[in-house]
């Protein structure tokens, strides 16, 4: 009787399997020639998302699908990383336009405050509703208004509002 030998394949941990799947998807959808640097960049992006308790596998699969539809001149790993960074800040599928980004920058420069995710989303909605030019004009008027804003009054009003809700 002839015996067949079974080859024992070492098991691969789930994260390594997911990373390999992401690399394969990238090869299929974007570029078959994936440099060592790009492979490392995708691995680092995977672990960065995992460290933020984000489903890195799902996130990167979706990001690569969107990225694959971009023009060839934008298909660089740095563009994908930038897109994923925006998603991790503003929420998955969020794609701030140039106008959104410019007005967020105006807000930061004029107020000296880094806008929260919620504030960024409000600015983006306002751009869609009022248009970038009109919003820019109003932001400039408000931020250049010489009336001093008493931040302490805003904070105490928040306390009052919460107390009155109870």
pLDDT digits (tens, 9 = 90+) for 151-166: 788 888 888 888 888 8
The reported pTM is: 0.59
Supply 68's token pair.
Answer: 């694959």
Structure confidence by residue, pLDDT tens digits, 70-83 = 888 878 888 888 88
Contact yes or no for 123/97 (Cβ under 8 A): no
What is the model's pLDDT at position 95? Answer: 76
Handedness of CA 140, 145, 151, 154 (dihedral sign): negative
**What's the rounded Cα separation, in Å, for the pair 100 and 120?**
8
Q: Rounded mean pLDDT of 107-130?
A: 87
Contact yes or no for 40/80 (Cβ under 8 A): no
What is the model's pLDDT at position 11? Answer: 56
Other Cβ atoms less than 10 A from the Cβ of 42: the count is: 21
What is the model's pLDDT at position 143? Answer: 82
Question: Residue holding tokens 């007005």?
Answer: 103
């Amino acid at each position: 009787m002839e015996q067949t030998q079974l080859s024992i394949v070492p098991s691969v941990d789930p994260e390594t399997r997911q990373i390999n799947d992401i690399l394969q998807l990238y090869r299929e959808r974007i570029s078959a020639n994936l440099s060592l640097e790009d492979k490392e960049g995708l691995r680092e992006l995977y672990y960065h998302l995992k460290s933020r308790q984000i489903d890195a596998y799902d996130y990167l699969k979706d990001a690569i699908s969107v990225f694959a539809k971009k023009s060839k001149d934008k298909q660089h790993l740095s563009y994908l990383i930038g897109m994923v960074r925006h998603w991790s800040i503003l929420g998955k599928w969020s794609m701030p336009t140039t106008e959104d980004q410019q007005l967020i920058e105006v807000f930061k420069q004029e107020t000296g405050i880094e806008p929260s995710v919620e504030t960024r989303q409000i600015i983006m909605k306002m751009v869609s509703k009022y248009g970038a030019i009109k919003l820019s004009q109003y932001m400039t008027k408000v931020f250049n208004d010489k009336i001093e804003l008493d931040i302490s009054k805003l904070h105490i009003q928040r306390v009052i509002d919460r107390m009155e809700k109870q």
